[in-house]
Amino acid sequence: MEEVIIIGSGCAGWTAAIYLARAKLSPLLVTGSEPGGLLTTTTLVENYPGFPLGIQGPELMEAMRKQAERFGTRVKYLSVVTDFQCNGKIKRVKIDDEWLETKAVVIAVGARPRKLSVPGESELETKGVSYCATCDGALPVFRNQPLVVVGGGDSACEEALYLTRFASVVYLIHRRDALRASSIMAERVLNEPKIKVIWNSVIEKVLDPKEDRVTGVLLRNVKEGTTNLLECRGLFVAIGHVPNTQIFEGKIELDEKKLIKTTEGTKTSVAGVFACGDCVDGVYRQAVTAAGMGCMAAIDAERYLREKSI
């Protein structure tokens, strides 16, 4: 019988592990198939407190792992949670092909950015293709360069406005002839002289994998069918995120975006199950906010175990 199982190994998961291990609860953390989460796919992280010169994403995740293990966290590397049962006080978690029982669960499975799925996108990820302007926009490679944002909602507008601080020009690519964003966000974008909106267009290809960096995007006008090459040095994809919550559907309460609903901190609809990080947060999605939520979930889980005396 486990005291607590943590599902996920991003900032939220490792932070929860640090707190729970220091509380002498000997947590078991399941990393998933991609240990470290989204931060392992980034390069320089400049906005995580405590690192004045920045730190590489994988290096930050490795440091968190070592810190968690130092206090007694046990880790199932590259293992995947394939099923989950939460009826009654005792929860059952299927890790690969093995069922384990636990008194509490912390879910920190994160979310993945929705991708364009066009040629060149995956090859140039971290080489000019980004899914987070707040994370990467201030990097030297993007300063005083033409940048492209794709999307038409509030997130895309926020990303485009943020990038005007660094870019020479920001092109906002949208497949329709009007933004889906809120009126105030759309107005800000349309009134910003450094943002040029390209309507009724989609990206067909990201260039140029042969140069190992982004040099431009091939656009197609969806109404006219014409194509043209737009030169740029960075592509920021802002078409939404997909929470990694599929196995929890029908078992704990999710919202319309498939994010886990929480109340009173990190409590889910099932007693003894707590959730944190990007599988809960559809607004901020930052490493530091995920870490903070991981701390909250650990404290909530510790109090639950102490009060319930399961």
Where in the sequence numbering do the catalytic residues fall? 132, 135-136
Q: What is the DSSP letter of 206?
A: E
Can you tell me the distance from the alpha carbon of 57 to that of 40, in angstroms, rounded to the nearest whole number?
Answer: 5
- Asked if residues 31 and 69 have their Cβ atoms less than 8 Å apart, the reply is no
Q: For the chain, how many helices (H) and strands (E)? A: 6, 19
The set of residues, in sequence order, having a beta carbon less than 8 Å from that of 170 and lying 6+ positions away, is 146, 147, 148, 149, 160, 163, 164, 194, 195, 196
36-to-2, 21, 186 alpha-carbon distances in Å:
23, 18, 35
Can you tell me the distance from the alpha carbon of 265 to that of 303, in angstroms, rounded to the nearest whole number?
Answer: 12
Determine if residue 117 is left, alpha or beta; phi over 0 gives left, psi from -120 to 50 gives alpha, anything else beta.
left
- Asked if residues 283 and 134 have their Cβ atoms less than 8 Å apart, the reply is no
**Angle at alpha carbon of residue 254, lines to 251 and 259, rounded to 5°:** 125
Positive or negative torsion for Cα 190, 239, 84, 107: negative
Can you tell me the distance from the alpha carbon of 194 to that of 164, in angstroms, rounded to the nearest whole number?
Answer: 6
